[in-house]
Amino acid sequence: MKPVHSMKKYIVFGLVNILCLACLSASAQEFIQLWPKGKIPNSKHLKLKDSIANERIYRVMNPGMYSFFPGTQENKGAAVVICPGGGYERLAYIISGFQLAKWFNTMGITAFVLNYRLPNSPDLIQREIGPLMDAQRAIRYIRANAAKWGIKPDKVGIMGSSSGGHLAATAGTMTEDVSAVKDSLDTFSYKPDFMILVSPVIDLSTNYAHAGSVKNLLGPTPSDELKQKFSAQLNVTPATPPCFIADAINDKTVNPMNSLLFYQALLQNKVPVSFHAFPQGAHAIALRNNPGSTELWTKLCEMWLIESNIISEKLPAK
């Protein structure tokens, strides 16, 4: 028989493991798996585990989304998929995920933080479409459950920061359906109704491209054709959804010309857009504690959501 102190040690160790496994979902209300169990597309089905360290996710084997629902009385009927940034190498799921989701809830918007597969995963068959597959599927999943969650199917948007902004912009501009798997969700649209981009990576094909995102998404030696295919500014059409962009002109990580290229393409195609280039903020624009006028971006975004009729200024009558 084991000594009492040894038994206590095993019990404590077990509790710590349980807490570690639960820590990601503790701030969310539910983790929703996007794909049928054992049938994740574009997967080699390797026996690998998710890799998480220092509030960053480095490998995703179970793509899904963390749900954040506002109170029933506060629900304004809109939803947003949040794509965390991290250079397509990791997911900064707290600062560019959970924190933003809670802010959306204060506006009565249902938020889903996307736990999308990273293209450098050895499990992916075709690396560059892995993140987009999960983003498209998330939008379809929300529309399929819109009635249950009190969401209007025509008010489902997408948001992203940095490389997450690239994924959001790609989801809003790419016309290719990469997420159809011949199930009931295929009947729902994978296109978002609006986009919110913060310090986004947009371009992968010119000198303004973010080299790390290009390499991580497309591989070490991508063709010019592939780089152009995933340069969001080249895929804008009059059918592209309206967009809000916040950036800082002193960003030394992702050239703010990325935002300008996208803004120009949206203007040329007469797509409604609100573009804000702040003098400070670098590549660290967050929900709060931003320098100078950059602190205004959240209020400007909320006003844009209202004037774009995505949410109402007042709560709907009950």
Torsion angle, alpha carbons of 210, 211, 216, 219, to 10: 130
Structure tokens at 282: 């670098």
Structure tokens at 198: 């913060």
Torsions phi, psi for 86 (to 5 deg)? 145, 25
Written as tens digits, the pLDDT of the chain (318 aa) is: 445 444 444 344 344 434 444 445 445 789 999 999 889 999 999 998 888 888 888 889 999 999 999 999 999 999 999 999 999 999 999 999 999 999 999 999 999 999 999 999 999 999 999 999 999 999 999 999 999 999 999 999 999 999 999 999 999 999 999 999 999 999 999 999 999 999 999 999 999 999 999 999 999 999 999 999 999 999 999 999 999 999 999 999 999 999 999 999 999 999 999 999 999 999 999 999 999 999 999 999 999 999 999 999 876 555
Q: Where are the domains of the chain?
A: 31-307
> 77 to each of 137, 165, 203, how far by Cα in Å?
20, 23, 33
CB burial of residue 161 (10 Å; 0-12, 13-18, 19+): buried
| CA pair distance 64, 40, nearest whole angstrom | 11
This prediction's pTM: 0.90
Pairing between β-strand 56-59 and β-strand 79-83 as defined by DSSP bridges: unpaired
31-307 in CATH: which number? Answer: 3.40.50.1820
DSSP of 151-217, one letter per residue?
Answer: --TT-EEEEEETHHHHHHHHHHH--------SSGGGGS----S-EEEES----SSSTTS-HHHHHHH
| CA pair distance 264, 273, nearest whole angstrom | 10
Helix or strand run (H / E) with residue 53: strand 51-53
Do 226 and 126 meet the contact criterion of CB atoms below 8 Å apart? no
Specify the length of the chain in residues: 318
